[in-house]
Structure 1
Amino acid sequence: MIFAANLKCNHTRESFKSYADALNKALKNKDEEIFVFPPNVAFLKEDLKFTQGTQNFYPCFKGAFTGEIGKEHLDEFGIKCVLIGHSERRILDNEALIKAKFDFAKEQNYTIFFCIGEDLKTKNLGNSKDFLKKQLEAIDLNYEKLIIAYEPIYSIGTGISADKEDISDILETLSVLTKAKLLYGGSVNENNIKEIQTIKHCSGVLIGSAALKIENFIKLIKG
């Protein structure tokens, strides 16, 4: 089972060091796959019992790209895992840039967490599946290090998770399109995580606010 934490614009290097130390200690005998995506300024150069990933990057090695982070910067921290397509990034990144990020990450043999999700209007119109399929059109669904995270926009940061039946239906559809591991994200918390984990084709969860405090994330992992 995959447990991934997206810390978004939270934590400093100092606070993430405490977070990582506590997580390392808790994971001493755990077999699950654990991923954490801290802010870029909080990356650590330490031995970690979990995979550290980046929430964002620019598809370049380095260069005249003001304010961006390239492969050279990720290499300094040994980072080979990237998050692409999160709805909070899609507000800023167009489809061409998302595809460029995916293609670059694939060339570098990175593990890619690719996020897809629809808003409530799309869901209510019954267009969820077509919308999600369109978000996947430009990427290689056969890439061996691809992990797809289904995160309905109406559930992110709202405290309202999608219905189990809706999640199951979407993951069933995605399982026909790809052999990639499928995750669910969107207001995952201690009240719903066990039910989500029982859904067919669900290989794990991508957790946001419920993972900001390390004691909560550890509790979710331990079940």
Structure 2
Amino acid sequence: MPSTRLVTLLGNTVRHQRHLRQLTQCELAEAAKVSQAAVARIESGSRAPSVAVLEALLAAMDVQLVVDVEPLDAHLDARIAELAARPIVERIAGLDLDRLLDQLPDVPQVLTGCTAALLQGAPVPVDAPEIALRWQDSKEFTRWLEANYGQRWNARWGEFGGIWLEPEEPGEHRWSTRHGEIRAVMCDELPETIQVRHGGRDYRVVPLAELELTEPRAAELLRRQRARLPTTEG
């Protein structure tokens, strides 16, 4: 049976989380009490995991599934087409990115996810600016959130709330602040970056090739955007 888009995304998510923890399929299977063959089929997209198995695999890696919705693919394609027709300077201005970056705490950080893709010219939707931060800087980031009326996104409630600001607490790394919404990717070391320049400002961004390996949502949108490009016959 061919993989559906959701089955592929779930498989990619399991594989991505396993790679982050430097686990083999056998090690993950043993921790989750499933077979290695099951892990392989789920990661390849050839098998749709049951909810129980998926939860066991993620729990074995100390994470949990967050369910969200997005526009149907037709609407998503229309949004990509709309963005492609607009100059990149307009797309960046729509994020109000510079104002947020100027207010962030003075700790090492880079732009990642769909934000990094947009700054490199990809016409992908960006819900909120996305930054990568080191875990060692999480306490300073938390202090900044507290000082700027941060509210943490709670996927279970489907809204922002006033609890669990700290990145160490379980849940999505997404906050609303008085300077706008922000998403964070917490990591031990910042990824390699390249520098791009727009409107007289330099931005440190994760390259597109790396985004496709490490950021599932950005990778999916980049694949959709490429699929829309006209093919050339030579």
TM range (shorter): under 0.3
Higher relative contact order (CA 8 A, sep 6+): 1
Superposition TM-score, scaled by structure 1 size: 0.25
Greater fraction of residues in helix: 2
